[in-house]
């Protein structure tokens, strides 16, 4: 990353830079020049944007001498599977708190997480309502066994995780300087809004010129907007980054669903 990168620990995990591909026929159909940044190719079992976040989250974990990564999500959580994959690659342990009962058969991300060696704690609906306490209970178990845990909130939703998409924004700027288009709009999906916050920070730090628009797929728009605002404020306070919350945070609402 450039010298604008935050002075915090990072472990290189992503196969970056990820390529930019023009969608020619869809561009013709829609009447716009449309490209896609293939962040599905960041590596580690196609873990997508989670790998960018985990570069910083796990970097911080290793700096704290953690040997166990703990996180939570649904039984088919991409983030949980990504944490399990990173732990296996780095020789760490992974503990996952997953919403729902133990299934009769394992498939999808749950199967992959188990094959990668993750320990799974299944949570009832009542336990899921206090999942933060469950994570702390799991961390306490690790400490009692002599280990050092590092807790990652659901989807890696922290200011540290958001720095992964500050890095992605810097990458887009670098690619534009070497022949890629200078995009006027970047559109992403949003769970919490951490990636949105990271790209907004890249506008101010790295000179990314594009408007950032996200489509919330789980949280309601107000919650995403509030989270983006909070993350940018934390980045300024915790890391001293020269960033401010923009007057407008652009979201396209109405596409939330289960999954």
Return the active site residues.
77
Query: Do residues 18 and 39 make contact, with C-beta atoms less than 8 angstroms apart?
Result: yes
Cβ of 99: how many Cβ atoms within 10 Å? Answer: 17
CA triplet 54, 57, 61: central angle to 5 degrees? 125
243 vs 232: CA distance, rounded Å: 7
Tokens of 138: 């799991």
How far, in Å, are 56, 86, 142, 152, 164 from residue 53 at the CA level? 6, 11, 23, 11, 5
Which of 75, 179, 153, 159 has the alpha carbon at shortest distance from 118? Answer: 75
Nearest to 256 by CA among 223, 214, 220: 220
């Amino acid at each position: 990353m450039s010298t604008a990168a935050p002075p915090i620990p990072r472990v290189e995990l992503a196969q970056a830079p990820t390529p930019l591909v023009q969608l020619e026929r869809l561009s013709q159909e829609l009447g716009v020049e449309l490209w896609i940044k293939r962040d599905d190719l960041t590596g580690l079992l196609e873990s997508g944007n989670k790998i960018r976040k985990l570069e910083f989250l796990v970097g911080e974990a290793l700096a704290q001498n953690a040997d166990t990564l703990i996180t939570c999500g649904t039984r088919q959580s991409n983030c949980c599977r990504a944490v399990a994959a990173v732990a296996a690659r780095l020789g760490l342990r992974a503990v996952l708190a997953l919403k729902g009962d133990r299934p009769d058969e394992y498939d999808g991300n749950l199967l992959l997480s188990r094959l990668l060696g993750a320990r799974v704690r299944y949570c009832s609906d009542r336990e899921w309502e206090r999942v933060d306490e469950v994570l702390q209970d799991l961390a306490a178990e690790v400490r009692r066994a002599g280990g050092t845990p590092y807790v990652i909130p659901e989807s890696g939703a922290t200011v540290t995780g958001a720095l992964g998409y500050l890095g992605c924004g810097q990458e887009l700027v670098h690619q534009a300087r070497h022949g890629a288009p200078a995009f006027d709009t970047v559109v992403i999906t949003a769970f919490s809004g951490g990636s949105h916050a990271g790209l907004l920070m890249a506008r101010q730090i790295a000179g990314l010129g594009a408007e950032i628009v996200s489509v919330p797929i789980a949280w309601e728009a107000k919650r995403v907007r509030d989270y983006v605002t909070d993350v940018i404020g934390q980045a300024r306070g915790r890391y001293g980054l020269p960033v401010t919350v923009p007057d407008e945070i652009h979201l396209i609402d109405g596409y939330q669903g289960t999954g």
